[in-house]
Amino acid sequence: MERAASILTRAADLDKAHRYSESLICYQEGIQLLLDALKDVKDGAEKTKLRARAGQYVERAEAVKSLARQEKEATAQHHQVVIEEGSVGHDYPNVFSRVFQGKKPLSVEVDDAYVRSNHQITNFLRFCELLVRFGTVTTIRLQTGVDDRGDGQQQQHLQALVKDLATHHITLHITYSDTLHDREIRFDNGWVVKIGRGLDYFKAPKGRFSVGFCDMNLRACHATTIDFYFRPK
């Protein structure tokens, strides 16, 4: 029941932020968890109350589904990049170049549940380096999951990045969520990027002295799809 409540709260927050596609996913998952939990409720009055609440969520989810469809139809521009298994040439400067054309972004929001292990944090660092290079971004917001190994390295490494980015006049805000499912990057100039694997689409190098170890444009990639949406402000 607590997990259902947490996910439904996340759904409502996304709903208020007009992020309808993501909100719908959370509503659907939360409603299913709530209905499953109802099976174990013995008290008749409590069951009636929870069933009514589930009905309200179902009603709102239907409305959000319609809004998500309208949002998709209203998208002014969509471009898709398909990265094939084992292909190269897909480092971050190449992949994200279009979002820096025209109006330059000042802030970026990254939702990725898996910026946890060392190589995932290193990928996020490479993405931050790209933002530093373009020189217009002043704020980065990362929402990710908590590393369940509990050794504290995730927080330690990310806080080190917070401090270093500050020397480049960029503020990095980090929040942790145990209900995050989205893998999406939002730029305040109107671009939204959805990546199936998040930033972690590179394969491990063959070794420290193999081509692709340093140059990510020569690093082989996992198969993934990247969707770019431009939503005029």
Dihedral of CA atoms 158, 164, 169, 174 in degrees, nearest 10, equals 10
> Can you give the pLDDT at residue 75?
54
CA distance linking residue 185 with residue 114, whole number of Å: 13
pLDDT at 233 over 70: no
* Coil vs helix vs strand at 131: helix
Q: How many CB atoms lie within 10 A of CB 223?
A: 13
Q: Among 97-106, 160-169, 211-220, where is mean pLDDT lowest?
A: 97-106
Domains of the chain: 2-73 (1.20.58.80), 76-230 (3.30.870.30)
Please report, for the chain, how many H helices and E strands are present, in that order: 6, 7
Q: How many whole angstroms separate alpha carbon 104 and alpha carbon 96?
A: 12
Whole-number Å distance between alpha carbons of 142 and 152: 17
pLDDT value at residue 90? 97
Cβ neighbours of residue 76 closer than 8 Å, sequence gap 6 or more? 230, 231, 232
How does pLDDT run across 185-195, given as a tens digit for each residue? 999 999 999 99
User: Which is more confidently placed, 4 or 82?
Assistant: 82
Q: Which residues contact 91 (CB under 8 A, 6 or more apart)?
A: 215, 216, 217, 219
Question: For residue 150, what pLDDT is reported?
Answer: 76
